[in-house]
Structure 1
Amino acid sequence: MKYRSDVDGLRALAVLPVVLFHAHIPGLSGGFIGVDIFFVISGYLICSLIARALARNEFSIIRFYENRCRRILPALTVMFLATSAVAAKVLLPPDMESFSRSLIAATFFVSNIFFWRSSSYFDGGSEFKPLLHTWSLGVEEQFYIFMPLILYVIARWLKSKYMIWLLVLTLPSFALSVWGLTHAPTSTFYLLPMRFWELAVGALIALRPERISPSPRAIREIVAGAGLLAILYGITMLSEESSFPGWNALLPCLGAAAIIDAGGRGGAWVSRLLSVRPLVFVGKISYSLYLWHWPLLALAKYQAMRQLTVVETAGVMTAALAISILSWRYVEMPFRQNRRFFNSRMIFAGSAAAMTLMTAAAFAGIYSQGLSFRYPNFEQQTISGKERYNGGTCFLDGNQTFRSWRGDDCFLSRGRGKTVLLWGDSYAAHYAPGLVDEAAHLSVDYLQYTASACPPVFDYYTAIRPHCREFNDNLPQIISKYGIKTVVMVGRWESLFKRGVSPSQVADTVARLNRMGVAVYVIGQSTVFNNDVQTLFAQGGNSATTAEASAPLSFSRDINGRLAAVLPAGTFIDPLAKLCHAQDCDFRRDGQYLVADIGHLSSFGSKLAVATYFPFVSR
């Protein structure tokens, strides 16, 4: 297959947005679409190679997987070994055990399934998972299992009508991706059936009939330019809250396909732009750069116990670039080019040995409970709190609609006075234990109306929780049915504002409620730390006898000031004023944790918070 420098340049256009997005560079809120561009490129290159080999009757499944092993496993194994060594040094036992489980999944290229079952890609805690980025390798490797067989069947029995039969597979995959956004968003993000179409877009470009002549130059220029604009639009205009993949992934995927197609039909100005030497070089090291940048960032943040500064981030990115160059030069290239020394037998034997070694290391981490002997005094506690949210009835999960809410069972107190509605997400639900414990001191009855990852903002949509909007739209019916005259709104505002919602939208929600004759209190952002508080406690060198502990927040404290500034006087209540000092905030008092994870209040913390600053509580 003829080398194309513009495809390497396109790889650079894929990897750089991903890396800069992970580094939290402003203006690149959709940088994660670089992974989708990689999918298109992979589909194009792999299917080009397979189709040419099939046309010459030279295709060998053994040789195909040998080449995949050469391309993927050496650099991946070195990254696994180095990351595991650093993880064993810095991760506390629970996190080391979780890392070990992800290592097994990544070794066998099913980490997309592992992370699908355990978390969302955009969860805050995901930033501390060193192997999270291997989910995309899982998708690609699973594609490599099925695609050679699919193309062989088409070539052998369906007269090489690749385009027709690939469209038969591609269109249902895309439809499933769109459908999944509102029915199973996490599955849609991680799993091959909903991502197959992205790789197939590249395959369709590779397998277009040879008889199609080069396009007129003007057409190529327009198509390639439109493709570049589509990619740039996705990088700058999409965000973590955009419905994705589905329709929003279509634009960057078609953009990448347009650029590849135009380059293959005679070239265009975009092809020449992507062929400049710096971009081509970044494209050549893109695989190693993708492998190394994420674990370096994740482990650095974990060790620092906070978000990195600009200077620290720059240092990590510089290290990632340097290591990637070395990995490309001394690991990737020798295995790919020196076929005399690294022959087929050595490649397969080495691959089996590497996977065996990684499996053994992972099982050692799991069965030693995260190498717990490193921290003989560390003891993971079960902190009471979340089990008291009234889950499934009054605090709904992402798969439940508002119809699952059991109104009459959601009173947190009875016989105390008029009914006040507690409305919001899990950061509203974490006050439920405290309201129950402090019921004797309430002058009202609180009714809980809460849903996971669903902030109390009208007209808010998130692909992460597709039922959230209708849950919030149902609020007027709840107000009418229970004669509500006062609503207490609580949300994880720092996450909401980071994802593009403005404080003024919260103010608009308050105004709409006021027009309905409802008084409103807004509880501001409570404490959220950079890691699980038990990890922070252990990293700080504390012992079980340490009564009090504090740490910096994961966000700027001015967020509550910004929210208060747009709300009517007397509406806003600031939890940080009661829970924080000048530089940090308490997560442990009187020998008990105030927080159960990174931010949700424990039962102890919930009771303290309610008694300290919640409305309608006698103090």
Structure 2
Amino acid sequence: MKYRIEVDGLRAIAVLPVIFGHAGFSLFHGGFVGVDIFFVISGYLITTIIMGDLDAGRFSVLRFYDRRLRRILPALFLVIAATLPFAYLWMMPDEFKNFGQSIVATLLFSNNMLLAMTADYWSLESMFKPLIHTWSLGVEEQYYMIVPVALFLMWKYARTYVLPAMVVLFISSLMVAVWGVAHFPAIAFYILPTRGWELLAGAILAYWLAYRAAPSPKGVRQEVASLAGLAMIAGSVVGFDDSFLSPGLWLLIPVGGAVLVIAFAVEGTLAYRLLSSRVLVGIGLISYSLYLWHQPLFALARIHAVDQVGPQTYAVLIVANFILSYLTWRFVEAPFRNRQIIGRRSFIVLSVVSSICLLGAGIYLNKTYGMYWRVFDRNENIADIDKRIYNSRVFEYKKSHFDSDGRRRIFVVGDSFGRDFINMTTETFDVSNIEIAYSDTAQACIESRSDPVDKSLFDAADIIVFASGYDTPDSIRQHCVQRDITWADERGKEIFFVGTKHFGYNLNWIIQLSSNDRANQYNKIPEFSLRNQKLDEEIVPSANFISLLGAVSRDGMVPITDDNGKMLSTDRRHVTKYGAIYFGDHALKPSAYGALLVGGVGAQ
């Protein structure tokens, strides 16, 4: 394949918005589309190379994967290994455990699948994940586990159907993407079936340019089309934000822009001259390393900071990113891609040893709950501090009916915040006098609920509690509060709405303190939590409101450790056992809800 210098320039156009967007620069809200441009470039280049080898009769699946792994693995090994010691020093156990899982998933080219099951790309927590960006490597490598073999077989037995097959798969994947973002947006963001059309756009272009399109010199059409492509990319970068569902139809704009640039930015056009500039080509050459390094640098800086990282710090990190990326390209990427320097046997040995070491580290971190003894005592019960275990055990309270034994019946409706509330209740009050039922169904007005189990539990309950987490005002909650209170009053039931809680932008700085200095530490409450707290106070009558932040905060600060230095939360949102006890003592006991439980009144 003839080297196309302007495609390296396009790589720079792809990676820079990703970096500046993740650094929080407002002009690059849509910087995430850089990954979509990378997909198009990758689909185009790899398909062109494979078809060229097939035509020449020299295609080898083994040689393809050797070349591919030489491109991907060495720099990836380095970045993961370099991130590990800082993660050890600065990460909470829950995060460090998740990091270990991500190491394993990344090296198995499946981090996109792990994230699809566990993480929303747009959530605050994602900003603290050093390897979240490797989801795109997972998509690409899963694609290339299929495409080379499929192309080889079709080239041999059904060559005339190659382009039609690509087009059908492109349309099918795009349709799945549109459906996916409408029904399962967090999952659709990460997976190959909803992302494959972007790679296939590049593959279709490669086939078209190789076999269908006549070579065309510079002309008006080439000038206009290539500049239009750049404009479509630029417009997406500055015009998109996280409200644009991805990978939905909107992505046809940057993807189409990348296709136009690759197809029409021929030598002599203005777009070609811009993209072939030394600066952009230089950035393009190190774009893979730039992409690999930027997220660990940003995430570790956020983890280490007490408050949000400012633009000056991001500027320093971006400079560091360029330095590290150049060194990685010069001394790792380039040598490993040269078979004269690193032979096949040496590459295999180094890759196997590196994989075993890093996979072993990841498995160890998962097994030891992120080496929890760095923060907690070794004799701690992990079930009390692992948010997933402690929070999820509440599912045992899901039931279809209450027992009629005279205990006070409490029905809690909510998400993981509702499960937190149940833990606060069971850690604080005598559970022999109460019976709890739990439902995680979507919130709606009581009278509007259609689930027969929920309806029977509402009818049988003495106390009804709504507790859900949200980062933006909940219109359903605002609409239903007074209607639900009226419904409960008419039936002689008590009803409560639990306020939001948040333990601050970052908890990890507490690790840097000695165990003797960790008692009674506070964090700044995020503005959105304060706004939601105020909104709750405005729409919920005080007699029906359990204010969590209002009960424990002071001057806009929230406690993150108790009197003994025990962490109240390890993930910013949910409580440990110590957090449940703390909120139970400080928020639930003094409330009207607490008065009912302390009074021990039986069923009505």
**Alignment TM-score, normalising by the size of structure 2:** 0.77
Alignment partner of 1:584 is 2:562: no
User: For 1:251 and 1:410, how far apart are their aligned partners in 2?
Assistant: 58
User: For 2:237 and 2:211, how far apart are their aligned partners in 1?
Assistant: 33
Alignment match, 2:602: none
The 3-state SS of whatever aligns with 2:573 is coil
Contact (CA 8 Å) 1:112, 1:135: kept in 2 or not?
yes
Contact (CA 8 Å) 1:17, 1:31: kept in 2 or not?
yes
Residue 45 of structure 1 deviates from its aligned partner by 0.6
Alignment match, 1:21: 21
Alignment match, 2:490: none
Task: Indicate the RMSD between aligned Cα atoms, in angstroms.
Answer: 4.4
Distance 1:512 1:362, change over 3 A: closer
Alignment partner of 1:386 is 2:391: yes
The 3-state SS of whatever aligns with 1:190 is coil
Distance 1:114 1:261, change over 3 A: same
The 3-state SS of whatever aligns with 2:384 is coil
The 3-state SS of whatever aligns with 1:588 is coil
Alignment partner of 1:78 is 2:78: yes
- Indicate the larger mover: 583-592 or 51-60: 583-592
The 3-state SS of whatever aligns with 1:600 is coil
Contact (CA 8 Å) 1:122, 1:240: kept in 2 or not?
yes
Contact (CA 8 Å) 2:446, 2:484: kept in 1 or not?
no
Distance 1:88 1:523, change over 3 A: closer
User: For 1:508 and 1:478, how far apart are their aligned partners in 2?
Assistant: 13
Q: Select the residue among 261, 264, 271 that pairs with 2:263.
A: 261
Distance 1:197 1:35, change over 3 A: same
Residue 40 of structure 1 deviates from its aligned partner by 1.1
Instruction: Please tell me the residue identity of whatever aligns with 1:542.
Output: S
Contact (CA 8 Å) 1:5, 1:275: kept in 2 or not?
yes
- Indicate the larger mover: 153-162 or 508-517: 508-517
Residue 288 of structure 1 deviates from its aligned partner by 0.5
The 3-state SS of whatever aligns with 2:527 is coil
Instruction: Please tell me the residue identity of whatever aligns with 1:179.
Output: W
User: For 1:375 and 1:611, how far apart are their aligned partners in 2?
Assistant: 29
Instruction: Please tell me the residue identity of whatever aligns with 2:531.
Output: N
**% identical aligned pairs:** 31
Contact (CA 8 Å) 1:111, 1:134: kept in 2 or not?
yes
The 3-state SS of whatever aligns with 2:139 is helix
User: For 2:282 and 2:592, how far apart are their aligned partners in 1?
Assistant: 57
Alignment match, 1:528: 503
- Indicate the larger mover: 283-292 or 76-85: 76-85
The 3-state SS of whatever aligns with 2:39 is helix
The 3-state SS of whatever aligns with 2:383 is coil
User: For 1:569 and 1:475, how far apart are their aligned partners in 2?
Assistant: 16
Alignment match, 2:601: none
Distance 1:566 1:160, change over 3 A: farther
1:319-358 map, 5 Å: 319-336=320-337, 338-358=338-358
Alignment match, 2:588: 610
Alignment match, 2:247: 245
Alignment partner of 1:510 is 2:478: yes
Alignment match, 1:87: 87
Alignment match, 1:399: none
Residue 204 of structure 1 deviates from its aligned partner by 0.6
Residue 41 of structure 1 deviates from its aligned partner by 0.9
Distance 1:414 1:224, change over 3 A: farther
User: For 2:593 and 2:376, how far apart are their aligned partners in 1?
Assistant: 44
User: For 1:136 and 1:223, how far apart are their aligned partners in 2?
Assistant: 28
User: For 1:368 and 1:492, how far apart are their aligned partners in 2?
Assistant: 29
The 3-state SS of whatever aligns with 1:8 is helix
Contact (CA 8 Å) 2:503, 2:558: kept in 1 or not?
no
Instruction: Please tell me the residue identity of whatever aligns with 1:312.
Output: T
User: For 1:566 and 1:236, how far apart are their aligned partners in 2?
Assistant: 37
User: For 1:525 and 1:294, how far apart are their aligned partners in 2?
Assistant: 30
Residue 321 of structure 1 deviates from its aligned partner by 1.9
Instruction: Please tell me the residue identity of whatever aligns with 1:285.
Output: I
Distance 1:50 1:557, change over 3 A: closer
User: For 2:374 and 2:540, how far apart are their aligned partners in 1?
Assistant: 53
User: For 1:573 and 1:97, how far apart are their aligned partners in 2?
Assistant: 33
Contact (CA 8 Å) 1:428, 1:489: kept in 2 or not?
yes
Deviations 1:88-132 (A, max 9, x none): 444455544443333233223232233334433334333333222
Deviations 1:468-489 (A, max 9, x none): xxx45676624998799x9998
Alignment match, 2:524: 553
Contact (CA 8 Å) 1:386, 1:430: kept in 2 or not?
yes
User: For 1:540 and 1:69, how far apart are their aligned partners in 2?
Assistant: 42
Distance 1:102 1:478, change over 3 A: closer
User: For 2:373 and 2:567, how far apart are their aligned partners in 1?
Assistant: 24
User: For 2:4 and 2:403, how far apart are their aligned partners in 1?
Assistant: 63
The 3-state SS of whatever aligns with 1:585 is strand
Instruction: Please tell me the residue identity of whatever aligns with 2:561.
Output: R
- Indicate the larger mover: 13-22 or 36-45: 13-22
Distance 1:217 1:425, change over 3 A: farther
The 3-state SS of whatever aligns with 1:210 is helix
- Indicate the larger mover: 178-187 or 33-42: 178-187
- Indicate the larger mover: 171-180 or 586-595: 586-595
**Alignment TM-score, normalising by the size of structure 1:** 0.76
Q: Select the residue among 558, 572, 587 that pairs with 1:598.
A: 572
1:359-374 map, 5 Å: 359-363=359-363, 365=365, 370=370
Alignment match, 1:296: 297
Distance 1:554 1:5, change over 3 A: farther
User: For 1:321 and 1:23, how far apart are their aligned partners in 2?
Assistant: 14
Contact (CA 8 Å) 2:510, 2:518: kept in 1 or not?
no
Contact (CA 8 Å) 1:378, 1:538: kept in 2 or not?
no
1:369-518 map, 5 Å: 370=370, 377-378=377-378, 381-383=382-384, 386-387=391-392, 425-427=415-417, 430-432=420-422, 471=442, 477-478=448-449, 492-493=469-470, 495-496=471-472, 510=478
Contact (CA 8 Å) 1:560, 1:574: kept in 2 or not?
no
The 3-state SS of whatever aligns with 1:552 is strand
Alignment partner of 1:177 is 2:150: no
Residue 376 of structure 1 deviates from its aligned partner by 8.8
Instruction: Please tell me the residue identity of whatever aligns with 2:521.
Output: S
Residue 315 of structure 1 deviates from its aligned partner by 2.4
Alignment match, 1:314: 315
Contact (CA 8 Å) 1:525, 1:560: kept in 2 or not?
no
- Indicate the larger mover: 181-190 or 252-261: 181-190
User: For 1:562 and 1:114, how far apart are their aligned partners in 2?
Assistant: 33
Q: Select the residue among 533, 540, 543 that pairs with 2:513.
A: 540
Residue 249 of structure 1 deviates from its aligned partner by 3.3
- Indicate the larger mover: 177-186 or 380-389: 380-389
1:151-170 map, 5 Å: 151-170=151-170
Distance 1:560 1:410, change over 3 A: farther
Residue 170 of structure 1 deviates from its aligned partner by 2.5
User: For 1:285 and 1:427, how far apart are their aligned partners in 2?
Assistant: 44
Instruction: Please tell me the residue identity of whatever aligns with 1:324.
Output: S
User: For 1:557 and 1:71, how far apart are their aligned partners in 2?
Assistant: 43
Contact (CA 8 Å) 1:29, 1:235: kept in 2 or not?
yes
Alignment match, 1:455: none
Distance 1:269 1:492, change over 3 A: farther
Alignment match, 1:212: 213
Contact (CA 8 Å) 2:524, 2:557: kept in 1 or not?
yes
Residue 425 of structure 1 deviates from its aligned partner by 5.0
The 3-state SS of whatever aligns with 1:3 is coil
Instruction: Please tell me the residue identity of whatever aligns with 1:556.
Output: E
Structure 1 segments unaligned to the other structure (5+ residues) = 395-405, 452-470, 497-502
Contact (CA 8 Å) 1:529, 1:598: kept in 2 or not?
yes
- Indicate the larger mover: 362-371 or 512-521: 512-521
1:104-115 map, 5 Å: 104-115=104-115
User: For 1:391 and 1:238, how far apart are their aligned partners in 2?
Assistant: 43
Distance 1:112 1:182, change over 3 A: same
- Indicate the larger mover: 40-49 or 383-392: 383-392
Distance 1:491 1:30, change over 3 A: farther
